[in-house]
Copies of this chain bind each other. A is one copy, B any other.
């Protein structure tokens, strides 16, 4: 029987879930996978205040990270404290002490993945991080091993449950953005401060990881064009509905002619597309693989046991490779290929949905479309709602043809500058899936 000694650093929501799951599934894992996980150490800076799960035997409880990592008996360190520091050092030091690492930390992998994987490679150890994206829904496994031998062309991800819940709730219940955020907080789907979710950065961290795996290129999170969902209003949702479209916060990465483009932003997609039916806190990723074609994976990408499930799955996979060269082979996956370039957002072409708050007076539409035309932006359709009484302003909605990002930005700046409209315009990209 294979025995793996574990040190767990970070005993919060996910950490206590991992401990409970290992206890509950102990017999099952022994019988099915012929491995026994022995939890030797739980390390948490507030260890004295923590309620530790019952039934644990011979587990050392400590607040000392150094002591934990220095223990020569441990084969694996599970890092679950999140954030960049000291997580980065915990991982590096653990690798140097000949330990494998399991982590659910998307931020540290997104920012320091290359450095960490290179160190793992040098040490002959490995880093498992299934729960960093879509929690236990095995998108990491799928990308790196499930469709091995395929190249990738495109990735489309709905990878932030909070945003997807908010957008779904706005659409299904005709709620305002603020109402939907409140409900999400009430149900535990959004933090008290939901900034990192709704500004898109959480999706960006996850996209950086998926991009590294799919295209062997580490893109820094700040190189990924990121827009959140705070500007979405009921006007946009209603308009989407009327065209049988839906708005999703998509994380998109594509490889075109040796260049990678990566971006996170709200996107109009067809409602009947498989991604269009991913609602609420569900996550999904659509991979366009060559030669396999489109593969879609979806499931619940958040929650204590969803994340703990990914960590335990990592442990089992790690155990199944213990004592082999497989770690070397795996960590090679993450070594950067130098000949891949990042495409600047300026050069990205998409169709746009543009919403203007326009004064209800003759000539406004002509002025707007004039500016767009001068910047070479083709107009596909224009909608201005009929109204009974004359009000001060009306929403004007324009769908463009394919247009370069930089042209659209310049045109919108010019429209704003000329005081043609009454508020900053809203621009949402449309993706032909």
Taking beta carbons and an 8 Å cutoff, which residues of A are in contact with B? 2, 21, 25, 28-29, 31-35, 135-138, 141-142, 145-151, 216, 272, 274, 277-278, 289, 291-300, 305-306, 308-309, 312-313, 315-317, 319-326, 328-330, 332-333, 337
Contact = CB atoms under 8 A, between A and B. Distances in A.
A324 B328 CA distance: 12
A306 B298 CA distance: 20
Given A277-B274, A291-B305, A216 B32 contact: yes
5 contacts: A21-B149, A28-B149, A294-B300, A319-B329, A321-B321
A146 B141 contact: yes
Contacts of A25: 149, 151
Nearest to A216: B32
Nearest to A297: B297
A334 to B, nearest CB: 10
Copies held by the complex: 2
Given A32-B333, A148-B312, A291-B306, 15 more contacts: A2-B329, A28-B151, A29-B149, A33-B332, A136-B150, A142-B142, A145-B317, A150-B309, A274-B277, A291-B308, A291-B309, A292-B309, A293-B306, A320-B330, A321-B321
Nearest to A309: B292
Contact of A33 (B274, B315, B316, B329): B329
Contact of A324 (B274, B308, B316, B323): B323
B333 A33 contact: yes
B329 A35 contact: yes
Contact of A149 (B292, B296, B309, B321): B309
B149 A138 contact: no
Nearest to A289: B309
A299 B293 contact: yes
A260 to B, nearest CB: 16
A34 B332 contact: yes
Contacts of A277: 272, 274, 277
Nearest to A31: B337
Contacts of A305: 291-292
Contacts of A29: 149
A376 B318 CA distance: 53
A255 to B, nearest CB: 13
Contacts of A329: 2, 33-35, 319-320
A146 B138 contact: yes
Given A142-B142, A291-B21, A309-B149, A325 B323 contact: yes
Which of A151, A274, A337 is the most central at the interface, judged by chain B CB atoms within 10 Å of its CB?
Answer: A274
Contacts of A326: 320-321, 324, 326
Given A149-B25, A333-B33, A292 B306 contact: yes
